[in-house]
Amino acid sequence: MAIPGILVKIVETKKTEVAELEKSRDKIIADAKAVTRKPLDFKHHLQNSGGLAIISEVKKASPSAGVICENFQPVEIAKAYENGGATAISVLTDIDYFQGHPDYLTAIRKEVNLPLLRKDFIIDELQVYEALTLGADTFLLIVAILTPEKLQELIQLGTKLGMTPLIEIHDEEELKIALDAGAKIIGVNNRDLRNFTVDMGLTAKLSPLVPDDCLLIGESGIKSVADAKGLRESGCTGILIGETLVREGLHNCGAMIKDMREC
């Protein structure tokens, strides 16, 4: 399974980051084990959202869109999402490619009560332990950048820590790998990371292959309530949406979240 070009570059950066984490391995694991806060049940919140579950993403920039929000206020954005009725909040912690930061996660945790997802390119257990310490309730795993064995290992670690991860796939082969590894929440990335093109029909195509005991989440390219409705009709329990909500601004994002939940 070939890794898309942009991911190859990102993974190399992550390997360097993990090498730095390794210098503090014992402390990182000890800090995570010392966390007394029980992670919120991400899957339960998605299943019981009272409508289409909206995972609203705190996102400053991306490789495909560039800078999305110049006056970026991560905590204020997260609070606006919560006030607007979001089900959960995704926080980008990648620095080099999305202009996120781990500190954003910690700051948001202090101000909101929704489940928080660490959105990053996780390739090692230390990043999972770190996510818990930062205040995350769950985390993203991308099948395209992990071996089946490593994927299963990280899913099992998350489960042990009380964190059910969101497993991102882009095609039928990756879906099979995810299910074989024990995935319980499947996210279909409608964007092809080889060329950044978006196919909003991809989720509908893969939906019939997702077992009933798994939740299906639509990701990427969601621009409107109509897009959200289409994904719901395709079998999605929820959607992960960032750029569109950030562009709506602090005062308007809540209305869009409400309309998408009720679509």
Give the domain CATH number at 142. 3.20.20.70
* The residue to which tokens 């099948």 are assigned: 143
Residue 220 annotated as catalytic: yes
Q: Is 34 exposed, middle or buried, given 0-12, 13-18 or 19+ CB atoms closer than 10 A? A: exposed
The count of structural domains within the chain is 1
Residue 189 annotated as catalytic: yes
Residue 57 annotated as catalytic: yes
Residue 59 annotated as catalytic: yes
Residue 24 annotated as catalytic: no
Q: Which of 14, 49, 56, 59 is catalytic?
A: 59
* pLDDT tens series, the chain, 263 aa: 566 678 889 999 999 999 999 999 999 999 999 999 999 999 999 999 999 999 999 999 998 889 999 999 999 999 999 999 999 999 999 999 999 999 999 999 999 999 999 999 999 999 999 999 999 999 999 999 999 999 999 999 999 999 999 999 999 999 999 999 999 999 999 988 777 788 999 999 999 999 999 999 999 999 999 999 999 999 999 999 999 999 999 999 999 999 999 99
CA-to-CA separations, 131 to 33, 48, 186, 223, in angstroms, rounded: 12, 24, 19, 29
Residue 60 annotated as catalytic: no
Please answer whether residues 239 and 218 qualify as being in contact, where contact means their C-beta atoms are separated by less than 8 angstroms.
Answer: yes
Domain of 27 in residue numbering reads as 5-261
- Distance, CA of 209 to chain centre: 21
Residue 184 annotated as catalytic: no
The answer to whether the pTM exceeds 0.75 is yes
Q: Which of 56, 189, 190, 234 is catalytic?
A: 189
Give the span between the Cα atoms of 143 and 147, in whole angstroms: 8
From the list 251, 256, 253, 196, the residue with the least C-alpha distance to 224 is 256
Q: Which of 90, 190, 220, 234 is catalytic?
A: 220
